[in-house]
Chain A
Amino acid sequence: MSTPSAIVDDRRNPFHVLLLVACVLAGAGGLIDPGRGSTVIRQYFAEWQLYVWYGGVFAGAVIALGALFIGTVIGYYVERIGLYLLAGLCLSYTAAIALGGAQFLALGGLTVLAFTTACIARLARIHSILRHQ
């Protein structure tokens, strides 16, 4: 008997939702004033690229958050769109910290790396669910 993954999958747990809300807020904050955002990311992007980067984080988080409230299997496809953006952009942030060298093992670097890993793990789970549909 195949595992009814889509039925038992608990998507709207507070931890999941609040992480995405934090991303929405971080993205919105960066869009309002990218100059006051992370110094790490500012080293690698031009000003207009910063807007794209923060816009991507904002859009990815909003899409992934909205997808949690779509009850059907379409929700997984939509969530995947948002998580691709979030995972990729956070990975680029992690790369920026790693290229910066010393700060990589600091709390900020590890936290973003952990969040990136969580996004990738969630994407793998979504792929597994969609493969059984």
Chain B
Amino acid sequence: MNVTVVLAIAAFALSAYGTYDLVYRRVQARKKSFTDADRSVVTSAVELIEPYRVRVRELVEYVSELEAKLKDANRLIDKLTREVQELRTQVGAMRDTIED
């Protein structure tokens, strides 16, 4: 049997090993599915996180309210600025009248 044939056989053997490794890992991965103990750990973790989740949601709502108030305040400032501008114009006109 020459080197060429030996190498070809080695190729098939390695490929068969690769197939075995793939199947073995798939089987191992299936075995590692969740047990009841794992589920209970996850449930406890979710319960632990829940109050913080509620608190975060409240904070987000509070920030939204503040944002709405800030928008209102900005609108009011714009309106007042416009009114002051009008008053200034009126005062200027009255001063001109008095000077005349």
B2 lies within 8 A of chain A by Cβ: yes
A93–B2 Cα distance when bound, in Å, is 12
B21 lies within 8 A of chain A by Cβ: yes
Q: Which residues from chain A contact B25 at a C-beta distance below 8 Å?
A: 77
A77-B21, A77-B22 known; A92-B15 Cβ under 8 A: no
Q: Which residues from chain B contact A86 at a C-beta distance below 8 Å?
A: 11
Q: Which residues from chain B contact A88 at a C-beta distance below 8 Å?
A: 7-8, 10-12, 14-15
Q: Is the CB of A92 within 8 A of B8?
A: yes
How many residues of chain A are within 8 Å of chain B by beta carbon? 26
Q: Which residue of A lies closest to B14 (CB)?
A: A84
How many pairs, one residue from A and one from B, have CB atoms within 8 Å of each other in the complex?
70
Q: Is the CB of B7 within 8 A of A95?
A: yes
Q: Is the CB of B4 within 8 A of A92?
A: yes
B45 lies within 8 A of chain A by Cβ: no
Q: Which residues from chain A contact B17 at a C-beta distance below 8 Å?
A: 84
Q: Determine the interface band of chain B, counting residues with CB < 8 A from chain A.
A: 10 to 19
Q: Is the CB of A91 within 8 A of B7?
A: yes
A34 lies within 8 A of chain B by Cβ: no
User: Nearest Cβ in chain B — how far from A66, in angstroms?
Assistant: 13
Q: Is the CB of A56 within 8 A of B8?
A: yes
Q: Which residues from chain A contact B11 at a C-beta distance below 8 Å?
A: 56, 60, 84-89, 91-92
Which residues of A line the B interface, CB within 8 A? 41, 44-45, 49, 52-53, 56, 60, 74, 77-78, 80-82, 84-89, 91-93, 95-96, 99
Which residues of B line the A interface, CB within 8 A? 2-8, 10-12, 14-15, 17-19, 21-22, 25-26
